[in-house]
Amino acid sequence: MSEAVTAAGLAFLQLAVFLALAPGVNGLIKQIKALLQGRRGPPLLQPYFDIFKLLRKDSVVSDHASAVFRWAPAVYAAAFATAALLLPVLWIPAPLAGWGDALALVGLFALARFALALAGLDTGSAFGGMGSSREVAVAALAEPAILLALFAVAWRSGGTDLSGMSAWLQTHGAAALAPSQLLAAGALVIAVIAETGRVPADNPDTHLELTMIHEGMLLEYSGRPLGILMWASLLKQTVLFALLIALFFPFGLASSAAELPLALAVLVLKLGALGLMMSLVESSSAKLRILKVPELLGAASALALLALVAEVVVG
Amino acid sequence: MLPGPLPGLVLTWQIDGLSAFFALVILSISAVTGIYALGNGRHHASFPGSGGLYLLFVFAMLGVVVAGDAFTFLIAWETMSLVSFALVLTEHRREEVRRAAWVYLVMTHTATAFIVSAFLLLARGSGSLVFAEWTAHASASDAGIASVIFVLGLVGFGTKAGMIPLHIWLPQAHPVAPAHVSALMSGVMIKLGIYGLLRLSFDWLAPGPAWWGALILGLGAASAVLGVLYALMEHDLKRLLAYHSVENIGIILLGVGAAVMARALGLGAIVALALSAALFHVANHATFKALLFMGAGAIDSAVGTRDLERLGGLVRRMPFTALSFLVGSAAISALPPLNGFASEWLTFQSLLQLGRLADEPQTALLPLLAGGALALTGALAVACFVKAFGVSFLALPRSTQAAAAREVGALELIPMATLALLCIALGLAAVPVVTAIGSLVPAAMLPHDGPALGLAAPAGGRLVLPGIALALPTFGALALLLPRLLGPVRARVAETWACGIALQPVHEYTAMAFAKPIRLMFRDIVRPVRDIGVVHRSGTRFVASVHYRSHIAPIFERYVYEALTDRLVAMARVVRTLQNGSLQTYLAYLFAALLVALVLAR
């Protein structure tokens, strides 16, 4: 019994860490982008202020909206909260490692997308429909790339267990540095850019109807539900970064309770490094036309395929 | 052995685990759709005896899976095909119905011809028509002949299953049949093609070369991806669902192909894993596809159309249908924690493990590529069901009929709710169900040293759907409740923002617009054709009306079937010169034939 309580406690600890760091990662990316563009950006803590303010505000709900619109934020948030607990980023195995693997993670992402895309259609607004339509189209191309990259990593470690993948990399260290893994990492980075709605696939800073994807689906949301959705999409971004960390850089994890603060600091550093990389990509590239996005994601799938071929043929 | 209905005709029956599994699927789904037919059937112009035909259809399907020899099998198979042909013809006064039924009849008989050829070759090898004899003689047959039998059987059974490129009858015949018939045909009957394929490749034939499995894998991947792509291009709800049957048959074939390939390579554990994936998906697809077809039938009878562009807003008018349809949509889109996700998870695992354990790089890469195709299929299925549910049930009604729709009766709602609950239950109880499926499969098929079947892949990777089903509502409730600690907020109701004007149904995204990004991304495959016409007011440059039509080119119909039928017609023309209708010519033929016969008999 006490073991179950400890396990639940650790699970909520990891979820709390993810929730606490998620807005900060975005604040950091905005800061670095502002720095690179030679302007003074919003404060590092601005995303926290935004979410806190939205969570206390009244909302306006469309009179055409149904229960789908009301429940979608909860499903969206729950899917990423569950996904966050499948990833071993503080200690191995992950809190819910026994309940789901890499495929479950992909399935949870699909569940969140399904809920939000329906909510986008629910109010009857053309902007919402546009956002939903584009979101599912882009994701349709990102998902094979993610899955093939996961297959390329799973091939090495033996199975689709995320904690097993991290553990394999930990024990083999530098020996794991194979060309195939670099190719898979490249594929996954591109897919993560698309899934987090960043330039060049989408623009997180725009509300211009012709270009937006993710923001289009949120357009009819306001007040507290918008706050929940915003926090949940920042959680999604952090979960995707954590996936990259777990698959390709699972070092500095805690093996006892005393090492937890250190592991936490290491996680913050890793997330910061990924944030730096994302802001460099965003600042140095222009947004692609929506019809050019398939080429980018096709390249990601091709990289993942090469990773698999390299893995199977070279071994 | 039972005495037959005619003197000298002996029908043999056999029931093993595989038969029992398929019989369970047939009987449980047909019981539910039968109740639905009592409620929904009154919307269709039925003919006297259609209820009896429905029962005969179920009985014939049952006969197929318990037949013990080729003769009994073919009698049941043909009864099933002909009775379903008659049921498709229920609304035979409409031209399109007659045409679709005709296509179905031709395809299903072509399939039977292939199956009979395979059976005759099998009977020649073993000297018997009894299936048990075929199993006993399986290893004695010649490898070349075995491959011929396999390909003939694959074409025959694949046509019934709706495998690409033999699928063309399916999107035509399923939409025109009454909803309870299409639910049964799409949910259950096409699975009997899978049953035949399993019997053929695991019972009647010895383990063959690896390319058998590779062929099934390739056809399965093509069916899955193309099926869902064509479904996305459809605006007729029942045609959309019919194309999804092609997709799901593809997913089942990925499991079957992995099993056949693993059997050829001697990888017993993968055979068990892949077979349980395929069989589990058979049961799952039967559940949610029957549910979705019944939902489409409910919409059809409440609104009077299945055209997505004329639906909308039904979630307020038909809330219970909407909820059932939503569960079915989530299940077919393979979303956790529902049943579709569990069987696709098993399929992914068997493809990955087959790829890992196969020795040759080329045999290893194919299952992994099929896994990529399955990922693409899953993501496109999510897109398609966001479209199907979102456009038909959400936002504003797009026609007056949709605005006036009323919820259907209890006889329709209870069957739908039953299957929706079954979708949830099969997902949560995936481990016991898969274990039961594993024990149902005849021991001859499974190696004895296989691992205990459960949702744990041989080399790591676990899936505990009840756990995920517990976590999701917990976190969802927390996400809604925790912000309440910050104090109460109000929700004001107002109009949707439509740039300052009142929102009209024409402002909504249409089904065609929704699928447009995907139509453009895959334009090389689906070949969209756009047709824009602008009409000016007479004598002016003012535009009076613009019409826009977009459809996709029917690649298979045009390049495969039309080419084939054109050849046949051309050959028929040549033969026609002999058949000129003149009595003298025919008498001359008779005389010549008599002469030849006399000369030969001399």
Question: What pLDDT is recorded for position B1?
Answer: 46
pLDDT digits (tens, 9 = 90+) for B318-334: 999 999 999 999 999 99
Q: Is B223 on the interface with A (CB under 8 A)?
A: no
What is the largest distance, in Å, between two alpha-carbon atoms of chain A?
59
Contact A101 B460 (CB under 8 A): yes
Q: Is B315 on the interface with A (CB under 8 A)?
A: yes
**Min CA distance, B436 vs chain A (Å)?**
21
Set of chain A residues whose Cβ sits within 8 Å of the Cβ of B486: 52, 55-56
Set of chain B residues whose Cβ sits within 8 Å of the Cβ of A148: 368, 371-372, 375
Residue B121: C-alpha distances to residues B116, B196, B205, B298, B454 (Å): 9, 16, 12, 46, 38
Among B396, B424, B489, pick the best mutation site for testing chain A contact (most A Cβ within 10 A): B489
Q: How far is Cα B100 from Cα B89, in angstroms, rounded to an integer? A: 9
Question: What pLDDT is recorded for position B45?
Answer: 62
Q: How far is Cα B285 from Cα B227, in angstroms, rounded to an integer? A: 14
pLDDT category at B55 given cuts 50, 70, 90 is very high
Question: What pLDDT is recorded for position A58?
Answer: 92
Highest mean pLDDT range out of A77-81, B131-135, B520-524?
Answer: A77-81
Question: What pLDDT is recorded for position B441?
Answer: 65
CB nearest to B480's CB, from A61, A74, A81? A74
Q: How far is Cα A94 from Cα A265, in angstroms, rounded to an integer? A: 17
Q: Is B71 on the interface with A (CB under 8 A)?
A: no
Q: Which residue has the tokens 């025959």?
A: B156
Question: Would you say the pTM of this structure is higher than 0.90?
Answer: yes
**Min CA distance, A41 vs chain B (Å)?**
28
CB B384 within 8 A of CB B244: yes
Set of chain B residues whose Cβ sits within 8 Å of the Cβ of A57: 489
Q: Is B500 on the interface with A (CB under 8 A)?
A: no
**DSSP label at A291?**
G
pLDDT category at B455 given cuts 50, 70, 90 is low
**Min CA distance, A38 vs chain B (Å)?**
35
Q: Is B355 on the interface with A (CB under 8 A)?
A: yes
| Dihedral in degrees, nearest 10, Cα atoms A173, A179, A185, A191 | -160
Selected residue with higher pLDDT from A28 and B140: A28
| Mean pLDDT value of segment B354-359 | 84
pLDDT digits (tens, 9 = 90+) for B98-124: 989 999 999 999 999 999 999 999 998
Can you list the residues of chain A whose pLDDT is less than 70? Answer: 1, 175-176, 206-211, 315
**Min CA distance, B471 vs chain A (Å)?**
6
Q: Is B388 on the interface with A (CB under 8 A)?
A: no
Q: Quote ipTM for the complex.
A: 0.95
Set of chain A residues whose Cβ sits within 8 Å of the Cβ of B380: 140
pLDDT digits (tens, 9 = 90+) for A219-272: 899 999 999 999 999 999 999 999 999 999 888 888 888 888 999 999 999 999
Residue A314: C-alpha distances to residues A156, A179, A303, B372, B384 (Å): 12, 10, 16, 20, 38
pLDDT category at B17 given cuts 50, 70, 90 is confident
CB nearest to A55's CB, from B376, B389, B483? B483
Question: What pLDDT is recorded for position A207?
Answer: 66
pLDDT category at B91 given cuts 50, 70, 90 is confident
| Residue B77 reports pLDDT greater than 80 | yes
